[in-house]
Every structure is written in structure tokens, then in C-alpha cells.
Amino acid sequence: MSADTRRPTMKDVAALAGVSLSTVSRVVNGDPGRPDLARRIQDAIDLLGYERDHTASTLRRTDRASASIGLLVADVGNPFFAAVARGVEEIARERGSVTMVASSDEDPARERELATALAARRVDGLVVVPTDGSPGPARVPTVFVDRPPRYADADTVLTDNFGGAVAAVTHLRAHGHRRIGFLGDRSTLHTAAERLRGYLGSLPDPSPARTDLSSGRLDPSLVRTDLEGSAAAFDAACALLRGDDPPTALFTAQNLITTGAVRALRALGLQHRVALVGFDDLPLADALDPGLTVVAQQPVTLGRAAARLLFSRIDGDRAEPRTEVVPTTLVVRGSGEIAR
């Protein structure tokens, strides 16, 4: 009979307080009960350092709520998704829920596997940044964030990618630019596609970039897509700027691509001659010379909205799936205001 440091259970508390198990359960769950008993029970709890086993409680309880949710992002290490995670966690904590975070690394197989692992832990719901080949939602309430799911009509919270791109290009046009280059990442990504759409939609009808639009082709001297990472963006930007009749302004549609373009402009000594507006904000953007004008997203807001929507579903909201759109903000710092 070892005096092992077993965690105390309700049974231990009941024994010490000289009451029955169910009385302890009720008191622990907020039922006042007889004051003297409640007091004895509380004393026993303090003495033993008892803490309720939340998992066992979930198993038996009628609502079966685990007070935990899952968050599936491409990569928590990415500052953008980290900010989304922060927003989700904030709302979850308000609700007394904890958040299990997992990174899919944009791999659909891993995404499915992780969703299953989270479901097996009986999370009450899931917030998901879907990968390209995302499967349908699991058997648990799911809200998609940052990108819409591919094959399902489901709750979704998105950034206004189209509107942000329009704002960026309109801003550049207002400063006299007519030849505006576009650099974007994987065009299969919803975000990238929307930003390109916004760019194209903001150009005047007889624009070179739009010439072949009806034929599905884009002017490669102005538009470059499917750039993966900042090195690729650097090369593409250099090529664009060194070409014949180069653009007088650039719209870079993603984080790392903006970084690559900034480096390219500096490498060519053009940072004060060619205008630049990037999508998504960066630390130090204001310390550059010139300061970097960006269309800022609100990732924390994105996460909060997704979590709120999820909890409303968990609470039983049975309305039609809905999509919320979070606006962007144009942050003017210099690079976007270079006139033609």
C-alpha cells in the first residue's frame, strides 16, 4: 500500500468531508447545498489540493462539452497565423475553453490526420485554415478562416482580399501610375486569386495587363504569379524592372513577396523611383527608406470573429452558414506615394 502521490479524487474529498460523492459533485458544480456541508467539503478540497478531472466530467455530463476547441493552421510559426491563433485563443479563454493548435504545413493529408486527432480528443469545435485539397468538415462544428473551404458551404471568415487589392491599385493610380506590376504567390490559393482579381478589376479597360484577359493570358511583363518565397519574388521583380517599358509601380500581393520586392528595388537603386504597395503589414515597414505603404490585414480580428462564430454554433445556432468579411486598412508610409 504505497503512499503514492495519486491525484485526489472526489471520492477522497467525500471521505474526508464525511459526505457522499454526489454531494461533493454538486458543490463542486456550484450547487450551494447545506452551508455547513459545503464548508466541510471546501475545506477537504483545499486540504487535499483536489482539482476536478475535466475529461472525466466531460464523459459523463449531458452536454458532453469538453471546453476545448481545435485550431488548424498552415503554420503557427508564421506571424500571420500566430496572430490569428491569438485572436481565437482570446475568445476561447473568455468562454473557459482551451485551444489545441496544430500546423498542417499546407498538406491535406496531414490536415485530415490532425483534424481526426483533435476530434478524437473530443474538441467542441474546430477553426480551420483549409489547405488546397481540404476535405469536407469533420463531424464537429467547424468554421473556416482566411480561406474558404473548397467543397462545402460552411461558416467562413475572410479578409477582404479583393477590396484590399483594389485599394492598393487605386492608390497607385491616384499617384499617376498606369503601368503597375503585380507579383503574387500560388494562384491556387484563394487569397492570391482574389488579390489578382482586385488588381485586374482596378485597371482601366484598355490596360496592357488586361489585353489578353479574355483569352485567359496575362501580360507577363506586368503580371507574375506563383512566386514561392521571397527569393523568387526578388528574381521576378528584377526581371520586371529590367524589362522594356518597365512598370512604374508594383503591387506585391503577399508578405514574403513584398520583402523580395523591397530587396530588388534596393538592389537596383530604384526604391525612390518606383512606387510599391504591399499586401499585409510587416514589422520595421516604417523604418525602411522610403517607409513601406501596405494594405494591412487584421489577423487577430479574423481569429476572434472565427472563434465567436464557432461558439455561436456550439451554443446551438442553427442558421444558414454565413461568411464574414474583415476589411483591410491602407497604411500610407511613403513607398506608395512616389509619383510617376
- Site residues (CB under 7 A) for DNA, limited to 4-43: 6-7, 9-11, 19-23, 25-26, 28-29, 31-34, 37-38
Q: Please give the C-alpha separations between residue 37 and each of 20, 53, 221, in angstroms, as whole numbers.
A: 10, 22, 81
Looking at residue 130, what DSSP letter applies?
A: -
Cα 322–chain centre separation: 17
| One of 43, 53, 228, 315 touching DNA (CB under 7 A) | 53
Binding of its own copies by 153 (CB under 8 A) = no
- Positive or negative CA dihedral for 253, 258, 264, 266? positive
- Which range of residues in 16-24, 116-124, 207-215, 308-316 is near its own copies by CB under 8 A? 116-124
Residue 109 CB coordination number (10 Å): 11
| Residue 119: contacted member of DNA, its own copies, none (CB under 5 to 8 Å, by partner type) | its own copies
Binding of its own copies by 330 (CB under 8 A) = no
- Which range of residues in 76-84, 129-137, 158-166, 330-338 is near its own copies by CB under 8 A? 76-84
Q: Which is nearer to its own copies, 98 or 270 (CB)?
A: 98
Per-residue contact flags (x/-) with its own copies for residues 258 to 287, judged by CB under 8 A: -x--xx--x---------------xxxxxx
Q: Which is nearer to DNA, 6 or 284 (CB)?
A: 6
> Before 148, cis peptide (omega within 30)?
no
Binding residues with DNA: total (CB under 7 A): 29
Give the angle subtended at the CA of 154 by the CAs of 149 and 160, to the nearest 5°. 65
> Across the strands, what pairs with 41?
none
Grid cell, residue 206, equals 484598355
> Which amino acid makes up residue 5?
T
Q: Which is nearer to its own copies, 127 or 223 (CB)?
A: 127
Q: How far apart are CA 60 and CA 232, in angstroms?
A: 55
Is residue 245 within 8 A of residue 272, CB to CB? The reply is no
Residue 18 CB coordination number (10 Å): 11
- Which range of residues in 21-29, 73-81, 219-227, 244-252 is near its own copies by CB under 8 A? 73-81
- Smallest distance, Å, CB 41 to DNA? 9
Which of helix, strand or coil describes residue 166? helix
- Site residues (CB under 8 A) for its own copies, limited to 11-50: 49
Is residue 66 within 8 A of residue 126, CB to CB? The reply is no
Binding residues with its own copies: total (CB under 8 A): 57
Is residue 327 within 8 A of residue 297, CB to CB? The reply is no
Q: What element of type H or E holds 59?
A: helix 54-60
Per-residue contact flags (x/-) with DNA for residues 58 to 97, judged by CB under 7 A: -xxxxx----------------------------------
Interface ranges with its own copies (CB under 8 A): 5, 7, 49, 51-56, 58-59, 66, 68, 70, 75-79, 81-83, 85-87, 89-90, 93, 96, 98-103, 114, 116-122, 139, 259, 262-263, 266, 282-289, 300
Positions that interact with DNA (CB under 7 A)? 6-7, 9-11, 19-23, 25-26, 28-29, 31-34, 37-38, 52-53, 56-57, 59-63
